[in-house]
Homo-oligomer: A and B are copies of this chain.
């Protein structure tokens, strides 16, 4: 492996933190299993191309996290696994989105009844006349795992102000008989925590998040609902079977179509 010091310029993050990240990854991925003795400090020194102290600093970080246990004269051992990750599975169809949201424990932390409109992408419909902004945090027990900025068409918001300020908006919108949802655009990207997200999710500024945008477009082409879900990166996963067309009538297995 090339010297890390060369890669160092690329990231500006302190070296020992970079090394710790990689080691944590090795434990998570199972490459280093619980109970294993990991390479000696000297070996890691060579592998990563950094000084002894730097390796020790990285080990110290993981020791504080309970992942490593270093014993003088014996070696360094894997003493635990990171908390289970990726327990949140992003819904893969509209019904699943609605029902997953329905059971969420949310806390509305900020409301603007007359907010700046959201910035819409190319194919995300046209803006409504006005929007309300509802900012909420979603909890799993005590742990915040997502922050949501929801731009809700103001006329819809005003119809049930009380309700929208306390409960998830999506199920209510679906219930409205005079609202037809034509499209539900979903975009998943990787973002970084701004001060607001950092504060709400208790993560570091600039740390990555899974950003999931959901835009509902009605039969007039208007984006009546535009929400940005910022998920804690550790809980986020999206799983699907690209060949599961049970609902679509397509064959559930694949053979070549033509020669």
Binding site for B on A (CB under 8 A): 1-2, 4, 7-8, 10-14, 17-22, 24-26, 29-30, 48, 85-86, 91-94, 97, 119, 174-177, 180-192, 194-196, 198-199, 202-208, 210, 219, 233, 236-245, 247-250, 252-256
Residues from chain B with a CB closer than 8 A to the CB of A250 are: 247
Residues from chain B with a CB closer than 8 A to the CB of A191 are: 25
Contact B185 A239 (CB under 8 A): yes
Interface centre among A12, A26, A85, A242 (most CB of B within 10 A): A242
Take A21-B205, A86-B189, A206-B18 as given contacts and tell me if A7 and B243 are in contact as well, using a CB distance cutoff of 8 Å.
Answer: no
Contact B22 A205 (CB under 8 A): yes
- Complex: how many Å from CA A126 to CA B239? 18
Q: Output the nearest chain B residue to A240 by Cβ-Cβ distance.
A: B186
- Complex: how many Å from CA A103 to CA B83? 39
- Complex: how many Å from CA A111 to CA B11? 28
Tally of this chain's copies: 2
Query: When the two chains form the complex, which single residue of B17, B94, B196, B198 contacts A206, counting CB atoms closer than 8 Å?
Result: B17
Q: List 14 other contacts, CB 8 Å, given A11-B198, A13-B205, A181-B254.
A: A4-B205, A7-B199, A11-B206, A12-B14, A14-B14, A18-B205, A21-B192, A22-B206, A24-B192, A174-B256, A184-B243, A185-B241, A186-B240, A186-B241
Q: How far is the CB of A168 from chain B (nearest CB, A)?
A: 15
Residues from chain B with a CB closer than 8 A to the CB of A203 are: 10-11
Contact A204 B252 (CB under 8 A): no
Query: When the two chains form the complex, which single residue of B25, B194, B243 contacts A182, counting CB atoms closer than 8 Å?
Result: B243
Q: How far is the CB of A9 from chain B (nearest CB, A)?
A: 8
Q: How far is the CB of A41 from chain B (nearest CB, A)?
A: 17
Residues from chain B with a CB closer than 8 A to the CB of A10 are: 198, 202-205
Residues from chain B with a CB closer than 8 A to the CB of A22 are: 192, 194-195, 205-206
Contact B244 A204 (CB under 8 A): no
Take A17-B12, A119-B30 as given contacts and tell me if A236 and B1 are in contact as well, using a CB distance cutoff of 8 Å.
Answer: no
Query: When the two chains form the complex, which single residue of B14, B26, B183, B205 contacts A19, counting CB atoms closer than 8 Å?
Result: B205
Contact A181 B253 (CB under 8 A): yes
Residues from chain B with a CB closer than 8 A to the CB of A206 are: 11, 13, 17-18, 20-22
